Amino acid sequence: MSNTNPYRLAGWSAILSAIATLVGAVTLVMFFSVGGLYGKINDASSVIIGLTGILILFTLYQIHRASAPMVSLIAFLIGAVALLVAAALQATLVLGGTNFMTIVTSMFGIFGASLLTFNWLANSNGTLPRALAWTGIAAGLGYVLVTAGFLLGGQNHILTYIGGAFSVIAYPVWGFWLGRIWLRVV
């Protein structure tokens, strides 16, 4: 396989995003337990997820643009802009800036809606294995539920917990699996 394979970078991005999600989940728990530097590590993980997610969405758009041109373009553009905003705001927080948690959470919810859309298309069109597409749907739903819970009642809302569990379990599985598939594409 040549190094010019467009799936190669996207595959590594999916794997890095999955790792960042796991690191973010662990450091979030550590931050709420003991505080300190764990919050900054969690915020930096969100920046990584945001930046790698843009390339993942772009690759999913490339896969689905022929079969669903308008839907895939909208899912890509809205998701990519949301991730760029989330990454930029989280980067300012890492550098000592203001906390924009409600905006960032909302942006990740929009990313979740894009994941839902692309994985629904993948399930319908058979562009990804069905189990992988359903795992991506669960991950996207998790992000949407976190946002809904956060907006309805904050970080302690039941939907925030349910969505967090969905996204922290499903997204890394999806990211590692998707990354392995894309790294094998010739």
In a domain, 139, yes or no: yes
More confident residue, 4 or 90: 90
Amino acid identity of residue 36, one-letter, is G
Task: Please check whether residue 66 lies inside any domain of the structure.
Answer: yes
Is 91 part of a structural domain of the chain? yes
Question: Taking residues 78-100, what's their average pLDDT?
Answer: 89
Residue 1, in any domain of the structure = no
pLDDT band at 1 (very low <50, low <70, confident <90, very high): very low
Does residue 33 or residue 115 have the better pLDDT? 115
Mean pLDDT of 96-102: 78
Torsion angle defined by CA atoms of residues 81, 87, 88 and 89, in that order, rounded to the nearest 10 degrees? 110
Domain interval for residue 38: 6-184
Residue 48 lies in a domain: yes
Q: How high is the pLDDT of residue 114? A: 98
Confirm whether 169 is domain-assigned. Answer: yes
Buried b (16+ CB within 10 A) or exposed e, 79-117: bbebbebbbbbbbebbeeeeebeeebbbbbbbbbbbbbb
Q: Is residue 92 part of a domain?
A: yes
**What's the number of domains the chain is made of?**
1
